[in-house]
Amino acid sequence: MIYMTSDLHFCHDKDFLYERRGFVSIDEMNETIVHNWNIIVEPEDEVYILGDLMLKDNEKGIELLKRLNGQLHIILGNHDTKKRIPLYEACENVVEVTYAKPFRYKGYHFFLTHYPTYTANIDKESIHQTVINLHGHTHQKNPFFQDHWFMYNVSMDAHDCKPIAMPQIIREITDKLLTTERINDN
C-alpha cells in the first residue's frame, strides 16, 4: 500500500499545535502519531511524508522517525533544515529525501509538495489528464485547499493524526470533483 501524510511536527512543543490536535502534551501527540501510524502502515508499505517531520529536539525526533513502519519518502518542508536532511538520510527506513516530486498512481498524475501548489490541466476532459497537488503545510482540517478538488491536504491535522492511503485520497478527490461538477451544472 502507498500512504501520504505531512506535518508530523514531532517534538514541536508549542501548545497551539498539539492542543489544537486534541493533546495535553507534545509527548502524548508524538506517541499517538507513532501508535496510529504503526497500526495502519506495514513495514513494506511506501509512505510519502510531505514535509515538517520535526522541530526542536532533533535527537528525539529522529528516534521517533526510526520507530515508524514503512519505507519513507521525504518531501522537505519549511522546518526540514539543512542540519536535519543528513539525519533523515541516515535512517534505515528512509529511502529518499527531495524537495518536490511528480508521482503517478494507477493512471492518476500527482505533484507532491509541502506547500499548496496550483497545478495544470484542470480543464481537461478526464481526471486522469489532471495534475493533482498533494500537499501539507496549512494545518487546516479540510483536506481540500481553498475548496479546490485538485489540491488535497494530506496533513496530520486533516486526517486525525494518521497517514492516508492513496485509494482513499482518490475516492475523496473524485467525490469532490463530482460534487463540484453538479454544482457548476446547476
> 2-44: per-residue pLDDT in tens?
999 999 999 998 777 888 899 999 999 999 999 999 999 999 9
**C-beta separation of 108 from 149 below 8 A:** no
Q: What is the CATH number of domain 2-181?
A: 3.60.21.10
**C-beta separation of 2 from 105 below 8 A:** yes
Q: What confidence score (pLDDT) does residue 153 get?
A: 97
Question: How would residue 186 be classed by pLDDT, with cut points 50, 70 and 90?
Answer: very low
Q: What confidence score (pLDDT) does residue 72 get?
A: 98
Mean pLDDT of the chain: 92
Tens digit of pLDDT for each residue in 47-100? 999 999 999 899 999 999 999 999 999 999 999 999 999 999 999 999 999 999
Would the pLDDT of 185 be above 60? no
In which element (H, E) is residue 131 found? strand 131-135
Looking at the DSSP assignment, which residues form a beta bridge with residue 10? 54
Cell of 6: 505531512
Question: How would residue 125 be classed by pLDDT, with cut points 50, 70 and 90?
Answer: low
Mean pLDDT of 137-149: 89
Return the sign of the alpha-carbon dihedral for residues 23, 27, 29, 31: negative
User: How many other CB atoms sit within 10 Å of the CB of residue 146?
Assistant: 10
Cα separation, 11 vs 26, whole angstroms: 6
Cell of 168: 482513499
Cα separation, 135 vs 64, whole angstroms: 22
